[in-house]
Chain A
């Protein structure tokens, strides 16, 4: 990735609990309505279940739960964003996603110290485009749940 000003990469923007996030569109395979999620017993709390996407069975991760926001019922605006990263394909459930935006690399700044806590870990940086603040997702961290959480963790 160069730092050339003109080198703007397309991002898919999505909303989550009133905040706009961005994910590099080259990692996004498709967008789908959220329907027919099959719950998977004993999976981590943020794992909503599995869904069928283009003939493939993939896990669906509820980003609200993942980021510690409250769970809300899915509606017509909810989207399943299917991403490919690190050889894995999985769906991220977001409140809504409707926008593409080119963001120059230089516009992405590291997240400020103040939010480098738990939620800061999921961020690659923050981009400010025309007074709009966009949190750029660190996809690797988001989809890495590490060791499978034991069943007792969410009893």
Chain B
């Protein structure tokens, strides 16, 4: 028991850190949102107190939890921002431009510090930022407490808490401050203890019951052993916790009023994340634990666990499909009444599975506003760098999107926004000369569209210069000399690897991912991207992504003896066409459709399968308007819920196939990549002669 398993300790610590990063993400998201709102208050007397409260609470929590993981830089930054916010709160202070900028810089650096810690990389220097933050705190507002701000940055400074606590606004109302003594507890977790439910969290909870948690720090000892150190101020008698050493929880008395004795160099208290303003002195300690340690209704779940759950449900869906296949075969050999009973049960199971799947999907959903908020920050920076005036118009932030998609789409969206600023929007003078409002607008819009989610990035800038793109494409040999690219081709060209119309890397958009990465990511996620652009009017990228990746509704079609799955969301309708109704125009086959014509693509021909010549066949109509095409198959077989499996092996990663599924009979059915098939018009050629 005295020799804890190092691996176990490491796991504790890893878990601990996971929670930490998740909590940081949450608070930084809130901070970004509130900071942008705060910017609007610059120069106005009496800053909106609720806004300050929210920010203070977030920074306070960030400070507390950063201390617990021993990330001193983050703790200091948060501390200084907190100090400034406190100053703002007082005396109807005014937020200066410089103050707002210092907070934004502080947040940016804080984010970098946490990110560096996460990647175990080198942290950026914080001194400059700290100095800037210190500079904006008005002397008067913090006069009684002035030393804390200075000392906080120093290693041996008395902590704010110690100072704050001494003048007697004790934590628990019931305890008289004179009785309060400070103890240092050390807890060494072991697997045995963990089995009995004694772990760092339960210990922390236990300590909170007896007093006020001033500090909590994990220490990595030799061989990766982990020991958690807690400094607790309590009025409770020693006898109350004397028996705890049996659970590897040792303690010693820390002398009063000499916080240096804790051997920590924490600039500030940790553990308590009250977010309460109270008065200057007691703010951080008056109500311990509100958001960090109090129970909440929110459960944080590792995405991998949800993936696993989705995978299990996928297995269930396949099993049920198999069951239904077996039932079909059973139909003739059992009494109809019995068969109906079985059939009903199977149907009920199908519905329940669908509900279950939707339930798990809902758990994975987050609001798209989370990425959008980040864009605000980016646009703000870009606006300054480029000298362009930009208004960011956000719509549909409440649209929910799979967490996985959010993570994957963040960089591509960032890139599109950067592009919109650097390539799309004109300079102010240019806009004025064109009679446009001097301020350019970038619109980010999200919305649901059936089983898909739509994300739109639009600007009201100069539009994509088709001629320039075409010229460059010709130079690169991507298109023939006489081709005038339409919007679909333009998009394809700018998404081609290495295609950039700027000779020198643009400072703003020429870094990070390129358009090819944007295109690939969308494709990998099973989505589509379209482009609309008009000279002097602007450019709009529309990205359509499936809500979820694992399970989808599909329409099954047959060609010869092969079956294929069409993602249901891409199919507009299925029509029956008489062979005699097909007209041949040069190399293309067309049929009349809704008063117009519909070009036909025969799947058999595209895939080099044996072509049959039925009298009538089914056509899946894909897309709408002028871009609609009909994919001709032999027959539509029906609608199914399918488990989408990727075809990632390079041997079978081919154009026109998005993945594979198993319909329950042990045979693999390919899922079509309709967008890729569509773009193989009009020069149809066999992909493979087998």
State the total of A-B contacts with C-beta under 8 angstroms: 85
Q: A40 CA to B649 CA in the complex, in Å?
A: 12
Q: Given contacts A57-B647, A151-B685, A151-B687, are A39 and B562 in contact (CB under 8 A)? A: yes
- Give Cα distance in the complex from A151 to B318, angstroms: 33
Residues of chain B contacted by A38 (CB below 8 angstroms):
562, 660, 667-670
A51 to B670, CA, bound (A): 11
B interface size (C-beta, 8 A): 31
B338 CB–A CB distance under 8 Å: no
A42 CA to B608 CA in the complex, in Å?
9
Asked whether, in the complex, the Cβ of B651 is within 8 Å of the Cβ of A43, the reply is yes
Task: Judge whether A22 is part of the interface by a CB distance below 8 angstroms.
Answer: no
Assess the B660–A151 pair: CB atoms within 8 A: no
A70 at the interface (CB under 8 A from B): no
A90's partner among B606, B649, B662 (CB-CB below 8 A) is: B649
Chain B residues near A28 (CB, 8 Å)?
Answer: none
CB contact between A51 and one of B656, B668, B690 (< 8 Å): that residue = B668
Instruction: Let me know if A50 and B654 touch, CB within 8 A.
Output: no
Docked pose: A90 CA to B652 CA in angstroms: 10
Distance of A57 Cα from B689 Cα, bound (Å): 23
| Residues of A within 8 A of B (CB-CB), count | 29
Name the interface residues of A52-73: CB closer than 8 Å to any CB of B.
52, 55-59, 61
- With a cutoff of 8 Å between Cβ atoms, the chain A residues found around residue B652 in the complex are 40, 43, 47, 49-50, 59
Q: A90-B651, A154-B688 are in contact. Are A41 and B608 (CB under 8 A)?
A: yes
Residues of A within 8 A of B607 (CB): 41-42
| Nearest CB on A from B316, distance (A) | 12
CB distance from A81 to the nearest CB of B (A): 15
B606 partner residues in chain A, CB cutoff 8 A: 41
Known: A52-B668, A55-B315, A57-B660. A39 touches B690 (CB 8 A): yes
B653 at the interface (CB under 8 A from A): yes
Contact B686 A155 (CB under 8 A): yes
List chain B residues, Cβ under 8 A from A58: 649
Partner among A35, A42, A57 whose Cβ is within 8 Å of the Cβ of B654: A42
Contact with A along B634-672 (1 / 0, CB 8 A): 000000000001010111111111001010001111100
B593-618 Cβ-contact flags toward A at 8 Å (1 or 0): 00000000000001111000000000
Nearest A residue to B665, CB-CB: A36
Complex contact A40–B654 (CB within 8 A):
yes
A130 within 8 A of B: no
Contact of A41 among B315, B653, B654 (CB under 8 A): B654
For the complex, what is the distance from the CA of A38 to the CA of B661, rounded to whole Å? 11
Q: Which of A57, A89, A151 has the most CB of B within 10 A?
A: A57
Residues of B with C-beta under 8 A to A59: 647, 649, 651-652
Answer yes or no: A145 CB below 8 A from chain B CBs: yes
- B650 contacts A57, C-beta separation under 8 Å: no
A88 at interface (Cβ–Cβ under 8 A)?
yes
Query: Which partner residue on chain A sits nearest B646 by CB separation?
Result: A57
Asked whether, in the complex, the Cβ of A44 is within 8 Å of the Cβ of B651, the reply is yes
Q: Evaluate contact between B666 and A42: CB separation under 8 angstroms.
A: no
Whether the Cβ atoms of B666 and A145 lie closer than 8 Å is no
Contacts of B689 in A (CB 8 A): 154-155
B688:A57 contact, CB within 8 angstroms: no
Which B residue's beta carbon lies closest to that of A145?
B651
Contact pick for A36, options B649, B651, B666, CB 8 Å = B666
A47 to B606 Cα, complex, angstroms: 18
Given contacts A38-B660, A52-B668, contact A148 B653 (CB under 8 A): yes
Q: Are B687 and A57 in contact (CB under 8 A)?
A: no
Cross-interface CB contact of B668 among A57, A90, A143, A145, cutoff 8 Å = A57
User: How long is the Cα–Cα vector from A151 to B650 in the complex, in angstroms?
Assistant: 15
* Distance in Å: Cβ of A49 to nearest Cβ of chain B: 8
Q: Is the CB of B688 within 8 A of A52?
A: no
Q: What residues of B have a CB within 8 angstroms of the CB of A44 in the complex?
A: 651
Complex CA gap A9/B467 in Å reads: 64
Separation of A46 and B687 alpha carbons in the complex (Å): 15
The residue in chain A whose Cβ has the minimal distance to the Cβ of B685 is A151
CA distance A90 to B647 in the complex (A): 11
**Which A residues lie within 8 Å of B647 (CB)?**
40, 50, 57, 59
**Per-residue contact bits, chain A 79-115, to B (CB 8 Å; 1 contact, 0 not):** 0000000001110000000000000000000000000
Within 8 A of B (CB), among A120-148: 143, 145, 148
Minimum Cβ distance to chain B for residue A150 (Å): 10
Structural contact, A43 and B654, CB atoms closer than 8 A = yes
Residues of B within 8 A of A57 (CB): 645, 647, 660, 662, 668
B105–chain A nearest beta-carbon distance, Å: 43
With contacts A155-B686, A155-B689 known, is A148 near B649, CB below 8 A?
no
Q: Are B666 and A40 in contact (CB under 8 A)?
A: no
Q: What residues of B have a CB within 8 angstroms of the CB of A42 in the complex?
A: 607, 654-657, 687-688
Chain A residues near B666 (CB-CB < 8 A)? 35-36, 52
Report the minimal beta-carbon distance from A1 to chain B, rounded to whole angstroms.
27
Q: How far is the CA of A7 from the CA of B569 in the complex (A)?
A: 57
Known: A41-B687, A41-B688. A36 touches B656 (CB 8 A): no
Task: List residues of B (353-409) whose CB comes within 8 Å of A's CBs.
Answer: none
B662 and A52 form a contact (CB under 8 A) = yes
Name 11 interchain pairs, CB-CB below 8 A, sorted by A.
Answer: A38-B668, A40-B647, A40-B654, A40-B657, A41-B606, A42-B657, A42-B688, A59-B652, A61-B651, A143-B651, A154-B688
The 5 closest A-B pairs by CB, nearest first: A41-B607, A42-B687, A38-B668, A42-B654, A59-B651
17 extra interchain contacts, Cβ-Cβ under 8 A, other than A35-B666, A41-B688?
A: A36-B667, A38-B562, A39-B562, A40-B654, A40-B670, A41-B654, A43-B688, A47-B651, A47-B652, A50-B647, A50-B668, A51-B668, A52-B667, A57-B647, A148-B650, A148-B654, A154-B688
Give A residues with C-beta under 8 Å from B. 35-36, 38-44, 47, 49-52, 55-59, 61, 88-90, 143, 145, 148, 151, 154-155
